[in-house]
Amino acid sequence: MSSPVRVRLPAQLRILAGVGPEVQVEVSGPVTQRAVIGALEEHYPVLLGTIRDRDTAKRRPFIRFFAGEADLSNEAPDALLPDAVASGTDVFVVVGAMAGG
Amino acid sequence: MSGVRLLVGTRKGAFVLTSDGTRQSWQVDGPHFAGWEIYHLKGSPADPQRLYASQSSGWFGQLMQRSDDGGKTWAPVGHDFRYDGEAGTHLWYDGTLRPWEFTRIWHLEPSLDDPGTVYAGAQDAALFRSTDSGQTWQEMVGLRGHPTAPSWQPGAGGLCLHTIIIGPDDPSRMFVAISAAGVFRSADAGETWRPANHGLSSEGVLPDPDADVGHCVHRIALHPSRPDVLFMQKHWDVMRSDDAGNSWQDVGEGLPSDFGFCIDVHAHEPETVYVVPITSDSLHYPPEGKLRVYRSRTGGHEWEPLTSGLPQQNCYVNVYRDAMTVDSLDPCGIYFGTTGGQVYASADAGDNWAAAVRDLPAVLSVEAQTLP
């Protein structure tokens, strides 16, 4: 069974991947951060390393994950994402964090 | 008619400037990769349409781009840079040991004869090579495997490998320069390396000012016809070597400051050298607010200021280490970019200058390609 998850990328990564404001990825199994980003990277290999470290899978320091007005950035990578993300109601948003002045 | 293409890397994208051989009027194309830091882009000497660009961002990390049509279109290539084996540790600013950590590619150096081979200089300092047009990258482990590597310490800009020179007459000879480790030379195409810093002195910076490694070399340059003669802009000091880096002599006398970042050599006169003096290590702008290129026609023994067309008051920009370049037309063209976003061009070897473009983002690098 797979879940169609909606993902919104920051502008720089949209251009890099050649996609519009929102993409949909099919996630098989539990819908977690790790699974969603893995599906995203599998579909758009150019994004490898841009959201999380290739080896450790650790989120890059200036990347944040939001969904349903909640900051999920510091949730465990294997924690289940909200049902609304798994069902495609809410968008999993990848954000370039505020940095600089 | 011949022409010149300038490849300009900036804090917020890449720009490609083109002109005919008169070099009086420039067409500006860009930004490419808008919003990304483009530390460096450079064309293959063997195929000028083949360009490589280092694209990076504090948010999204390192990417690499390639163009096969002279910068009109680009496509991402491989960007998996990983240190070979255990990364190990090096000295940090505070004297503690810190694991080697990849941050970005500072400099790209395509092979002189193979468009598919390109070298990349990294922060934290390492040398990478691709032999498949940028699809995959392998660390050349001999450099970071040097016994002194754990003692290398970053300069203010990070522990960066920023200069790569391939021997114009003998590609098995290579030089790299690292801030703040110094110059290293290879005689076997990058397999093994030796420090080449004898004669450098870093008084007040290193506990042993004449140490084998630890010098903050900002840039080295050579003329292809005389591969044993090297010129260097060090943190402080402008230096010269006549024996391929075995020994160095100070040739900075006569400059208003011997601090600076860039240095380059005239395309047809091996003894004609250019620098842009910067006030000091804490004041990264030209002395007296006057933007002056200094030229030596005697290999560094006398220097003359070149000011025509350059701002001579209230100028407080910097010129980074990769931001000066020459073309190979006659008369030689020379170019440099500033942190204020100007790219200045001279079509007469530095006698007169004009801005090819103004108000770009801060310029990180400029490379010239002379086109048929």
pLDDT tens profile A29-77:
999 999 999 999 999 999 999 999 998 899 999 999 999 999 999 999 9
* Lookup: tokens for B26: 């420039």
- The CA distance from B126 to B82, in Å, is 10
Q: How confident is the model at residue A5 (pLDDT cuts 50, 70, 90)?
A: very high
- The CA distance from A37 to B259, in Å, is 47
Contacts of A94 in chain B (CB under 8 A): none
Residue with tokens 């490694």: B213
Nearest to A13 among B60, B62, B80 (CB): B60
Q: Is the pLDDT of residue A101 over 70?
A: no
For B192, other C-beta atoms within 10 Å of its C-beta total 16
* pLDDT recorded at residue B94: 86
In this prediction the pTM is 0.95
Tell whether A44 lies on the interface with B, counting CB pairs under 8 A: no
- The CA distance from B197 to B315, in Å, is 34
Residue type for position B271: E
Helices and strands in chain B: count of H runs, count of E runs = 1, 30
Bridge pairing between strands A2-8 and A92-96? parallel
DSSP character string of B32-70: ESTTSEEEEEEE-SS-TT-EEEEEEETTTEEEEEEESST
Domain with A23, as residue range(s), is 2-96
Three-class secondary structure of residue B150 per DSSP = helix
Q: Is the pLDDT of residue B231 over 80?
A: yes
Nearest residue on chain A to B64, judged by CA atoms? A46
CB contact under 8 A, A62 and B63: no
∠ Cα B30 B127 B234 (to 5°): 80
DSSP character string of A32-53: BHHHHHHHHHHH-GGGTTTSB-
Question: Which residue did the predictor score with more confidence, B364 or B85?
Answer: B364
Mean pLDDT calculated for residue range B67-71: 97
Contacts of A17 in chain B (CB under 8 A): none
Q: How confident is the model at residue B209 (pLDDT cuts 50, 70, 90)?
A: confident
CB contact under 8 A, A50 and B61: yes
CB contact under 8 A, B36 and A12: yes
* pLDDT recorded at residue A98: 81
The reply to whether A24 falls in a domain is yes
Q: Are A16 and A6 in contact (CB under 8 A)?
A: no
Nearest residue on chain A to B60, judged by CA atoms? A50
pLDDT digits (tens, 9 = 90+) for B150-208: 999 998 889 999 999 999 999 999 999 999 999 999 999 999 999 999 999 988 778 78
* pLDDT recorded at residue A48: 97
* Lookup: tokens for B88: 């190990």
pLDDT digits (tens, 9 = 90+) for B237-260: 999 999 999 999 999 999 999 999
Q: Which domains does chain B have, with CATH numbers?
A: 3-371 (2.130.10.10)
Name the β-bridge partners of B120. Answer: B108, B128
* Lookup: tokens for A93: 């948003």
The reply to whether A11 falls in a domain is yes
Contacts of A97 in chain B (CB under 8 A): 59
pLDDT digits (tens, 9 = 90+) for B323-349: 999 999 999 999 999 999 999 999 999
The reply to whether A101 falls in a domain is no
Burial of B335 (0-12, 13-18, 19+ CB in 10 A): buried
Three-class secondary structure of residue A4 per DSSP = strand
pLDDT exceeding 70 applies to what percent of chain A? 97
Tell whether A63 lies on the interface with B, counting CB pairs under 8 A: yes
Count the domains in chain A. Answer: 1
Nearest to B59 among A48, A55, A62 (CB): A62
Three-class secondary structure of residue B151 per DSSP = helix
CATH, residue A67: 3.10.20.30
Residue type for position B153: Q
Rg of chain B over Cα atoms, rounded to whole angstroms, equals 19
> Choosing among B55, B56, B59, B102, which should be mutated to test the A contact, i.e. which has the most A CBs within 10 A?
B59
Nearest residue on chain B to A44, judged by CA atoms? B76
Q: Whole-number mean pLDDT of chain B?
A: 96
